[in-house]
Amino acid sequence: MDERQAKIEARTREHHGIGGGVRMRLRDAVFGTQDGLISTLGALTGIAAGTRSGEAVVVAGFVIIVVESLSMAAGSYLSSKSQREYLERLLREEEEEIARDPEGERQEIVEMYRLRGYADEEIAIIARRLMSDPKLLLEDMAHKELGISPSTLEEPLGNALVMGTAYVAGGLVPVLPYLTLPMATAMPVSIIGTLLALFLFGGLKGRLVKQSWWRSGLEMVGVAGVAALAGFFIGRLVDRWVLH
């Protein structure tokens, strides 16, 4: 086997196997970590500015992390499960159609590949091969007609675990300074530490998706900065107009 063929097979295995699962988890990991960092930072900064109580910030921080991580995990599970059930229904309908009208499926194959520019001789070979293997035919028709790859359907439980864990990991970053430092020091350390974590995480995400790592990092920092400022000013307004 030459080097080119080996690379093709490796990429195919990655796309349909472990690599496909990793790409699906990336969305939940990025969403969970980013939301954990940004939303927790914004809320805690507002609470710290409004109450000036380290104990209140810590209690609120852990309540936010627990409640939001469970909510995010549940949302990820339910949405992924609904999406998977919908796609599985489409696959069952396609499978039933193949069993009920194989000649109609053959004609669909001919038309699809003819529209893509294949010669009739090539189409005949493809159709013969696909019609001889129901599983292969289902995969091809699902991909071409429905845009579905049966081997890469989402795993709801795995998505939920990744989402919840990522939120907890992100949410702990802005909370930890309030556990060990006085309030006057904890707030800036929490903000700076969270912004740094966001920049590093954004840079990692940029590298994974082959984009500019520093631009991806700055994008996350910018969003978090807005959240922190919003939380700070809301906290000060509440302190000024509600608590006093």
Q: For 69-98, how does the pLDDT look when each residue is reduced to its tens digit (9 = 90+)?
A: 999 999 999 999 999 999 999 999 999 998
What residues have CB less than 8 Å from 200, skipping those under 6 apart? 217
- Short-list 206, 144, 170, 174, CA closest to 58: 174
- DSSP one-letter code for 132: T
Return the percent helix, strand and coil in the chain, to nearest 5. Answer: 90, 0, 10
When pLDDT is averaged across residues 127-137 and rounded to a whole number, the result is: 91
Written as six digits, the tokens of 28 are 């939940």
pTM beyond 0.75, yes or no = yes
Task: Pick 197 or 225 by higher pLDDT.
Answer: 197
Task: Pick 11 or 183 by higher pLDDT.
Answer: 183
At 7, is the pLDDT very low, low, confident or very high (cuts 50, 70, 90)? very low
CA 189 to CA 191: how far, in whole Å?
A: 5
Task: Pick 165 or 38 by higher pLDDT.
Answer: 165
CA 175 to CA 65: how far, in whole Å?
A: 9
Predicted confidence (pLDDT) at residue 29 exceeds the cutoff of 80? yes
Our CA angle for 236, 240, 241, nearest 5°, is: 120
